[in-house]
Amino acid sequence: MIAVLPSLLAASTVKSVGAVVAVLTLIGFVVYVVVNIRSGRDEIGSEIELAPNRKPYYPDEVLEGPRLTRALSTGLVLLAISALGLPLYWLNEPSRQDGAIAQFDATFVERGSLLFAPTADGGYNCAGCHGPGGTGGVAPPFTLTGAEGQFVAAVTWKAPAINTVLLRFSEEEVRDVLVYGRPGSPMPAWGALGGGPLTSQQIDELIAYLGSIQLTSTEAKTQSEEALRVQLGLEPGALIDYTDPAVGKAIFNLGLATGTAGGSYSCARCHTKGASYRDGDVSPANADLSNYIDFTDGSGANGFALTSGLVPRQFLTLDALIQFLRSGSKYGVLYGQRGVGSGRMPGLGDNPNTPEADDGMFTDGMLRAAACYESSLEGDVPPLGCKGSLPIPPAPQSGTLTMTGER
């Protein structure tokens, strides 16, 4: 913010100088018109006698003397002003442009925060579901309907924290979610293209606002590990044994039962049907939810089923699977053996919006434990060599997917 101030000031100085020049010009013009009208005389006599071109003018001494000097000096001063003014303007131009950009960004963030605000303040109440500042919350009762469209129950659906959403999804991927919503969940479509009320510029403003409230990678890693300790019943700061399968299972369902960060660190919210509301309020309390909750981990929802035999094993090595969890999927890009990404699988270990590696929400230990647990769900094929304590694989140099196995 402090670094941005000088350039903002520069922009506003240029603006105020411009305003002063405009006002002076206007005043000068008015004075000129008034003086001209007042000095105008009524026509006297005949045109032949008093025609201006017949009036005797100054003698040569005057014309070539002080008058000439005055005209030349004025010219020199004006020339000096242009000669100095243009380079000065040019020198100031980069900071003026930076200032304009910073001001644009600040305006977008400000407008985005107004869109994010509660309905009472004229906003679209993102905070009503996603929590104040997007820290995670619950969506108000979401209606589950039966095969004939009849009411089954109202449930409270966890709304993931979105103060970390740009650590796991690219801006483009977040734009897709905002424009089209998450059909089948309480998240509505907001963009005009998805049938919502917002223009594409308003969507950009929301993304700018989201950008301004993101946790750092370190903060998110600390928060996710603390949530994991709570879930495992460990003391704050205690060592976590990432080779323990129970740790993998806890990561898969991280924060859903406790509500930490709206369950945004879990895999289950996407890969297990009903995981986002199985631990919440249900009304009526005795509703028959057997078709809606208590499915096995990874039985599939918005993200594919990961369980036995339902999907071909995409990843031939543990490293390849870890790498996929780290970077997520990208629209139209191959993952694993034959997977084509839609951009909806988040990159949990690497922020896709930065060139740096490993600046996501999960530590290497978490990625490894999640990968081992995930591969154990595949059932009819053996887990990818996760027994015992394997060393944590080194972080890859780039965030790109590499094809492994036979071609």
Which residues contact ligand HEC by CB under 6 A? 124-126, 128-130, 139, 157, 159-160, 162, 165, 174, 177-178, 182, 185-187, 190, 206, 264, 267, 269-271, 276, 302-304, 306, 311, 314, 325, 329, 339, 341-342, 344-346, 348, 370, 374
Tokens of 206: 């929301």
Smallest separation, CB 392 to ligand HEC (Å): 16
139 has which bridge partners?
157
Smallest separation, CB 165 to ligand HEC (Å): 5
In Å, how far from its chain's centre is CA 121? 22
Among residues 220, 245, 247, the alpha carbon closest in space to that of 232 is found at 247
Residue 6 or 118: which CB sits closer to ligand HEC?
118
Smallest separation, CB 149 to ligand HEC (Å): 20
Residue 264 or 323: which CB sits closer to ligand HEC?
264
SS3 content of the chain, % helix, strand, coil (to 5): 50, 5, 45
In terms of phi and psi (left: phi > 0; alpha: psi -120 to 50; beta: otherwise), the region of 328 is left
Residue 11 or 326: which CB sits closer to ligand HEC?
326
Q: What angle do CA 166, 172, 178 make, to 5 degrees?
A: 80
- What is the rounded distance in angstroms from the CA atom of residue 397 to the CA atom of residue 106? 34
Smallest separation, CB 395 to ligand HEC (Å): 17
137-145, strands of its sheet edge to edge: 137-145, 151-159, 282-283
Tokens of 334: 């191959």
Smallest separation, CB 339 to ligand HEC (Å): 4
Residue 178 or 208: which CB sits closer to ligand HEC?
178
Residue 289 near residue 282, CB atoms below 8 Å = yes
Residue 102 or 165: which CB sits closer to ligand HEC?
165
Among residues 327, 276, 334, 333, the alpha carbon closest in space to that of 169 is found at 327
Among residues 340, 403, 326, 336, the alpha carbon closest in space to that of 371 is found at 326
Residue 102 or 210: which CB sits closer to ligand HEC?
210
Smallest separation, CB 236 to ligand HEC (Å): 23
Residue 99 or 112: which CB sits closer to ligand HEC?
112
Residue 102 or 177: which CB sits closer to ligand HEC?
177
Residue 142 or 234: which CB sits closer to ligand HEC?
142
In Å, how far from its chain's centre is CA 255? 23
Smallest separation, CB 221 to ligand HEC (Å): 14
Smallest separation, CB 258 to ligand HEC (Å): 17
Instruction: Classify burial at 250, counting beta carbons within 10 Å of its beta carbon; exposed 0-12, middle 13-18, buried 19 or more.
Output: buried
Tokens of 22: 């405009």
Smallest separation, CB 187 to ligand HEC (Å): 3
Residue 370 or 401: which CB sits closer to ligand HEC?
370
- What is the rounded distance in angstroms from the CA atom of residue 402 to the CA atom of residue 321? 11
Smallest separation, CB 147 to ligand HEC (Å): 22
- What is the rounded distance in angstroms from the CA atom of residue 241 to the CA atom of residue 250? 12
263-269 contacts: CB < 8 A, separation 24 or more? Answer: 263/136, 263/158, 263/160, 264/136, 264/160, 264/161, 264/162, 264/164, 264/165, 265/223, 265/224, 265/227, 265/361, 265/362, 267/298, 267/303, 267/370, 267/374, 268/297, 268/298, 269/158, 269/160
CA trace torsion 76, 77, 80, 82 (10° rounding): -110
Residue 229 or 344: which CB sits closer to ligand HEC?
344
Smallest separation, CB 5 to ligand HEC (Å): 28
